[in-house]
Amino acid sequence: MSLYEIPITHLSGIGEKKAALFKKLGVNTVGDMIEYYPRAYDNWSDTTPIGELVGGQTAVIRAKVATPVNNIRISGGRMMAKLSVCDDSGYLSLVFFNNKYISSMLRYGEEYLFMGKVAEDKFGLQMTSPEFSSAATSDAVTPVYNLTAGLSNRVMIKAAKEALGMLPEVIRDPLPYDILRHYDLCTLSYALQNIHFPSDLDAMERARRRLVFEELLVLNLGMRLMKRQSKEHTAVRMTTDYTAEFIDKLPFTLTGAQQRAIADCVSDMRDKPSPMNRLIQGDVGSGKTAVCAALCYHTVRNGYQAAFMAPTDILARQHYETFTKMFAGTDIRLELLTGSMTAAEKRKTRARIESGESDIVIGTHALLSESTVFSALGCAITDEQHRFGVAQRARLASKGEHPHVLVLSATPIPRTLGLIIYGDLDITIIDELPPGRSEVQTYFIGTDKRDRALGFIKKQVDEGRQAYIVCPLVEEGEGETPLENANDYAAELMLGVFRDYPVGILHGKMKPKEKDAVMAQFANNEISILVATTVVEVGVDVKNATVMMIENAERFGLSTLHQLRGRVGRGEYQSYCILISDNRGENTEQRLGTMCRTNNGFEIADMDLKLRGPGDFFGNRQHGLPELSIADFSDTETLAQSQEAAEKLLAISPDLSHDGMRALRAKIRRLFKETENTMN
Ligand code: ADP
Ligand code: MG
């Protein structure tokens, strides 16, 4: 039996109650625990003499228990344990709360290592609830795990130790030996042991590099296998190019980049034996929707249905309206399918899709449901692909007999990541904006200048324009100040500066119908100022909006800020982005400074990666890849090595069917299966 099948309750001291807590951390099995790597390490070898401690510092001391533990009952029935410890240089008081075992764990006269924050009051220095371990048996480096309420680091350490003890003597290393040797990697058992309980920091580094390498390799191989599989199918051939007759009807002339994107896709759909599998990457406002419309038209004229999936209700409805205008005067039948429609509406719509009465279906995740059946899906398009997982992309495609697949993205991914993230896709880049756009002018100001900024917005609105004001939070009480709260903020504006202007509110907790109503009002200029959370981040297109003001701008990632800014400057008017923050930390200055300096999405993405680190690429799920447990894309050297290794292995066995690669295959399955489960 595999360790991934043994429930965590198998470990001693973990019953159903604790297991529920482990589950919160994603740890369900013994195998999961082994792969639940520490977030950080405590280095216990770096001790400070008590006499040199200063208040506020976090330190490790090596000290003997100098007094018996004194248990005191304090208010609320709580317990406090107090004692003194000493080394050659002085005495220190320790305080623990609600731990009745302290007196049995810390023995008078014995020596321990204590780690904690030193506080100073009028009675001298003390540590409250320090971590500790016996000086005689203590490890030099101990793991620090991400925790959840009710689970202590101590419990995690014990679980990890026991789980590691259950590893079979010889575990099957998924990496072939020559790969280990060639890239100077340690073995799996060494890596697992030392990632949790390293003998020193060098051993930890070695373990980490090996595990990162393996995870990136597995990801890489998975993406490549997916690409390979899609190439094995025969494509629906669309032999005649109908795009020109559609393009002629558009109210504008396509840019060269838009034309090239269409040509790439038409050629994929006509000339290749396997289905198209392409990403179109174009900065916000580059006109990806028109490209899709042309391809949908092309698909329908060739006798098939097209599906166009968007991540939010608002966006799906907006696309539906755009398409309705573009397809006016044709006999093409459009359909909208979103989760917010009534059950009866959905049923009728699905019936039309299944019978082939609908030609182009625009919708949200509702398209993915089992009850959505197409009669002849020829082309599946996913907008804002980073909002969807790899598995969801595949699910939309599975609604047809290997239809052509197109995904769209405005989130620029640093080039170094592109290959792995889009390993399964061919790529077209739209590197040109429609003519007549002037760059959005961006300013970074403190809250002391907010009134001036609001005055500026007023002037713009008086000239007939509209504005967005974004604040990070919605609910009452969520913010530290009222200004961080969209509802309160809007109320304040409505009663104050903008009392004579129509102000609207938009946030993620509203019902889809309410959101739509507000968006429609904004699109019709019945609302001049829209106070919103980041729900406006995705794709919304209102050409008349010229100001995007963002409160607490330091809280957003650069990619999000760039997306938000992309909501303005979409028409003929000069547009402005105002970033408000009182945070003058170096990092904030640099990040917001970057926004002011450039409108180039790639440059911004590179800077984001450099300044915030890759954690945020994972945190925000900016990529739709499976969640990784240890790897991090900023390690470009290991990334490149893992790519090289993936190619080597596939050269030996193109589908990894070779017997020696069985463990690797299992790893790939696990990584991608988890995506399917967590992406919803
Ligand atoms: P995105 O690439 O961000 O999805 P959209 O497709 O929403 O961008 O297009 C942004 C705006 O530009 C839309 O209002 C669209 O009508 C307009 N547009 C697209 N292509 C052109 C073009 N070639 N010339 C002028 N305007 C265009
Ligand atoms: Mg778009």
Burial zone of 140 (CB within 10 Å; 0-12 exposed, 13-18 middle, 19+ buried): middle
Size (the chain), residues: 680
pLDDT of residue 537: 66
pLDDT of residue 356: 95
Question: Residue 444's closest CA among 605, 583, 603?
Answer: 583
Alpha carbon of 258 to ligand 1 centroid (Å) = 10
pLDDT of residue 335: 97
- Rounded to the nearest integer, the mean pLDDT of the chain is 87
For 623, list phi and psi in degrees, rounded to 5: -130, -15
Least confident of 106-115, 294-303, 414-423, 487-496: 414-423
Residue closest by Cα to atom 20 of ligand 1: 287
Pocket test for ligand 1, best of 255, 286, 567 (most atoms within 8 A of CB): 286
For 144, list phi and psi in degrees, rounded to 5: -120, 120
Pocket test for ligand 1, best of 249, 289, 409 (most atoms within 8 A of CB): 289
Strand order, beta sheet including 466-470: 441-445, 576-580, 545-550, 466-470, 529-532, 503-506
> What SS3 string covers 100-155?
CCHHHHCCCCCEEEEEEEEEEECCEEEEECCEEEECCCCCCEEEECCCCCCCCHHH
For 141, list phi and psi in degrees, rounded to 5: -125, 130
The token pair that represents 576 in the structure block? 């402005």
Three-state DSSP class for 670?
helix
Q: Are 103 and 111 in contact (CB under 8 A)?
A: no
pLDDT band of 618, cuts 50, 70, 90: very low
What percentage of the chain reaches a pLDDT higher than 90? 51
Residue closest by Cα to atom 19 of ligand 1: 287
Q: Residue 381: in which H helix or E strand, if any? A: strand 377-382
pLDDT band of 170, cuts 50, 70, 90: low
Q: Any idea of the CA torsion for 356, 357, 361, 366, to the nearest 10 degrees?
A: -80
Residues facing residue 281 across a β-bridge? 409, 429
Point out the ligand nearest to the CA of residue 384: 2
CA-based torsion, 619, 625, 628, 633: positive or negative:
negative
CA 199 – CA 195 distance, rounded (Å): 10
At 516-568, the pLDDT tens digits run 889 889 988 999 999 988 777 666 789 999 999 999 898 888 888 988 999 99
Point out the ligand nearest to the CA of residue 601: 1
Alpha carbon of 668 to ligand 1 centroid (Å) = 39
Question: Residue 312's closest CA among 468, 515, 569?
Answer: 515
CA 191 – CA 197 distance, rounded (Å): 10
Q: Which residues contact 497 (CB under 8 A, 6 or more apart)?
A: 451, 454, 455, 458
Alpha carbon of 273 to ligand 2 centroid (Å) = 29
Q: Which residue's entry shows tokens 């009452």? A: 476
Write the DSSP assignment of 562-591 as a string of letters.
Answer: HHHHTTSS-SSS--EEEEE-----HHHHHH
Question: Residue 140's closest CA among 47, 38, 34?
Answer: 47
Query: Strand 360-363 vs strand 334-337: parallel, antiparallel, or unpaired?
Result: parallel
Atom of ligand 1 nearest to the CA of 282: 2
Straight-line distance from the first to the last Cα atom of the chain, in angstroms, rounded to the nearest whole number: 30
Burial zone of 329 (CB within 10 Å; 0-12 exposed, 13-18 middle, 19+ buried): exposed
Alpha carbon of 381 to ligand 1 centroid (Å) = 17
Neighbours of ion ligand 2 (CB under 5 A): 539
Strand order, beta sheet including 360-363: 334-337, 360-363, 305-309, 377-382, 404-409, 277-282, 426-430
CA 486 – CA 475 distance, rounded (Å): 8
pLDDT of residue 416: 59
Q: How far, CA to CA in Å, does 78 sit from each of 71, 96, 592?
A: 10, 11, 47
Pocket test for ligand 1, best of 259, 324, 570, 572 (most atoms within 8 A of CB): 570
In this model, does residue 309 exceed pLDDT 50? yes
Atom of ligand 1 nearest to the CA of 253: 23
Ligand 1 neighbours (beta carbon < 6 A) = 252-255, 258, 282, 284-290, 410, 434, 539, 541, 543, 570
Query: Strand 90-97 vs strand 360-363: parallel, antiparallel, or unpaired?
Result: unpaired
pLDDT of residue 619: 39
pLDDT band of 617, cuts 50, 70, 90: very low
In this model, does residue 484 exceed pLDDT 60? no
CA 339 – CA 326 distance, rounded (Å): 24
Write the DSSP assignment of 177-191 as a string of letters.
Answer: HHHHHHTT---HHHH
Highest mean pLDDT among 296-300, 432-436, 602-606: 296-300
